[in-house]
A and B are shown apart, each in its own frame.
Chain A
Amino acid sequence: MVKNEHITDEQFNQKVEKDLLSHLVSQKRKGNIFVIILVVILLIGVFAYYRQIRYGLIVTSMRDYTSWGVYISNFVFFVAISLVGSLISSMLKLSKATWSIPLTRISEIIAIAAIFCASIIIIVDMGRPDRFLNVLIHGRIQSPILWDVMIISTYLVISMLLLYISLIPDLALCRDKLTHVSGFRKWFYRVFSVNWKGSPEQYKILHSIITILSIVVLPIAFSIHTVTSWLFSTTWRPGWDSTNLGPYFVSGALMAGAAVIVVAMYFIRNAYNLKEYLTDKIFDKMGKLLVLLSLVYLYFNINEYLGPAFKMVGVEGEHIIELFVGKYAGMYWAVQILGLIMPIIVLSFAWGRKPFIMLIISMLALLGAWVKRFLIVIPSLQHPYLPIQNVDESYRHYVPSWEEWAITFASFAGCLLIITFLLRILPVIPIWEMKKGVEPKPQEV
């Protein structure tokens, strides 16, 4: 953050408040066009889902062999994205990286939006969504699906708490400073700032709650993606039947999380004029972090494919051939090179860690993360132990139908809408953590 030596803390704090509340005061009309486009995409998805409810999953391209499709891979993607919250506001915070403080709120908002969309998309995949309550009524604790339901709901609650608790001082500020906003927002700030006065005692409680939450969220965040990987690794499918899958999924998720925060940071900084707060230095740091996380993911990638590719046994071998030189080879190598190797190379250099280049690289990494999950879910199902014979040709291939794409894009639109909505009512950067001298120094963790 740009800081002049000769201004006092008081002046500095006033400037911070003014800058960081400005996006809540003057809502840009340009943003409304963005919202309308998202709503239209969402509505098309809702129509596609109506068709799916009416005619059944027959409107998708899934059939008896490829029985999981783009819904499941999209679900895994959203679960992966949701790890961004714990990455920034738990891992970086606990390691006392102060540079990442301006990113905490963005990351928590993205985490909540992503985990919410993941829950929706998994219901969309159900053949009988009307029987969802059976999971509670007849739930069998032995099933990995139950573990997933439990861990996802726990993570959602803790993420919401993490976002909300650290919001309270800022909501109080909004309550006091934003006097010309709509009645709903006035009410919202008043009720949810729960009588925050900013006394040393309140800050003390606040800090201890945040510390507890950021420690608690860590094992939950690891579990959420590890359990998601177990949905696959508890079966005998080639590519899934692997003990490597847990850390492989988690490392991939952390990388995708870092990439998504770079993309979000770039657009928010431009839309809300926050260059002084989301500085080039933060981009540089995030770039280095992304390289580190990509290297970890690369390691688990090699570990995942080398064994089966060396042995080339049976269906595992068929699966490897399909990915390396078969019908998925184009996708596979594009993902590995553009989405993994290239970020490592480009971001290793200082010139590569400039905001715009990082935006492009992070978008590629994100796209790669999405396609990678497609490659994890679908090809494995097409190599069962027993040969696929005497079936309609459509059973052998899987190309998502328009309904599946519409619902998938709607899930992205929905995720962005949630983020946009929250950014319109919440200060995007934690103001109280940016200000100086207004609170007793945080206790040493």
Chain B
Amino acid sequence: MKNDKNKQSRRKFFSKAVPAAIGTIGGVGLVAQSCKQAGNSGEKVTLLSQDGTLVEVDQSALPQAPYRPMPPKEAREGIPGKHFVMVVDLARCRNARKCVKACDHHHQLTPDRPFIKVLRMQDNKASAPYWMPKKCFHCDNPPCVKVCPVGATYKRSDGLVLVDNERCIGCRFCMAACPYSARVFNWGEPKNQKMNHPYSPETSTPSQIGTVEKCDFCPDMLRQDKVPHCITACPNGALYFGDKIADSVTNGSETVRLSTLLRDKAAYRYHEELGTEPNVYYLPPVDRAFPFKEAPEGQPS
């Protein structure tokens, strides 16, 4: 009986110690990750085993703490020291719509309310048409944030504009205010919802009836040092994502200096004159990787 109790308390200790250790290592690991490739890290960790002896194990053998999306309150804080940007190379988009598909899947969206739209654009009659993938521009001077009566949509220190659908009152003023039509609304009960975690503005799932939604730059991925789903889904490397402060963006296969890319390719932002200061840059559709082809009839959005 006494022994049992002892065991229990030991077990309790162990169950508390391991996550704590993992937490510490996790912190170290993130720093280490940038220098060393994962695998057998060679770094040993001392742990207390179940029968009371100290053992040394390799860091890579430990299970990683599962990622938990930030609850609405914590999601209001940006990731420190970051300012996220996206660059879209219009010369490389051929309307493959893989980004749309990946985004829809990840955010549990139905085709009637996509976060990403690939638009057929033609600046004037004489110029050639091109495909323009369009997400939320995460403006630094966001009209949607200004008009929201309850602070349900907000700007974070890392540049992201997010929506808290547990606070949104559904007035749709932000939709009227956004000059880029970036926002979608849950007019009815959202379909296709899998409740695999509690709501987080960082995943924008699960959706809620009567509230507004939009592209969120996948902050759940960013928290895990990964890039948004659309970036990795693009088969042509048209989408770059990165950090303005670190001055680097990646399209999954190459990582380039942001300032050089923007300068060399004469990047522009859509409707610069509105003063919204978007964080999405476009590289003009010159020297195209693909000839322009019209979309097939009845192409789903």
CB pair B188–A128 under 8 Å, yes or no, is: no
Query: Known: A140-B150, A236-B274. Contact between A231 and B173, CB under 8 A?
Result: yes
A-B contact pairs, 18 of them (CB 8 A): A56-B189, A57-B170, A57-B185, A58-B189, A65-B181, A127-B170, A127-B172, A134-B152, A143-B147, A144-B173, A149-B149, A235-B176, A235-B177, A384-B179, A385-B181, A385-B271, A389-B117, A390-B300
Contacts of A131 in B (CB 8 A): 150, 167-170
Contacts of B117 in A (CB 8 A): 386, 389-390
> Quick check: is A351 within 8 A (CB to CB) of the other chain?
no
> Quick check: is B209 within 8 A (CB to CB) of the other chain?
yes
> Quick check: is B234 within 8 A (CB to CB) of the other chain?
no
CB pair B172–A142 under 8 Å, yes or no, is: no
Proximity bits, A118-143, B CB within 8 Å = 1, else 0: 00000001111001101101111011
Contacts of B172 in A (CB 8 A): 67-68, 127
Query: Known: A140-B151, A236-B179. Contact between A145 and B187, CB under 8 A?
Result: no
Interface residues of A (CB under 8 A from B): 55-58, 60, 62-65, 67-68, 125-128, 131-132, 134-135, 137-140, 142-146, 149, 231-232, 234-237, 381, 384-392
Interface residues of B (CB under 8 A from A): 112-113, 117-121, 134, 143, 146-152, 167-173, 175-177, 179-181, 183-189, 209-212, 271, 274, 299-301
Which one of B173, B188, B299 has the greatest number of beta carbons of chain A within 10 Å? Answer: B173
Chain A interface main SS type: loop
Pick from B167, B184, B211: contact of A64, CB under 8 Å: B184
CB pair A132–B274 under 8 Å, yes or no, is: no
Q: Bound complex: CA of A381 vs CA of B168, how far in Å?
A: 21
Contacts of A386 in B (CB 8 A): 117, 119, 134, 180-181
Contacts of B121 in A (CB 8 A): 387
CB pair B143–A135 under 8 Å, yes or no, is: no
CB pair A62–B187 under 8 Å, yes or no, is: yes
Contacts of A55 in B (CB 8 A): 188-189
Task: A64-B183, A127-B169 given; name 17 further pairs at CB < 8 Å.
Answer: A56-B187, A56-B188, A57-B185, A62-B187, A64-B181, A64-B184, A68-B172, A126-B210, A128-B169, A128-B170, A131-B168, A143-B150, A235-B176, A384-B179, A385-B271, A387-B119, A389-B119
CB pair A384–B149 under 8 Å, yes or no, is: no
- Chain B, residue nearest A131 (CB): B169
Contacts of B168 in A (CB 8 A): 127-128, 131
CB pair A64–B185 under 8 Å, yes or no, is: yes
Q: Bound complex: CA of A149 vs CA of B169, how far in Å?
A: 14
Pick from A125, A126, A145: contact of B147, CB under 8 Å: A145
CB pair A126–B119 under 8 Å, yes or no, is: no
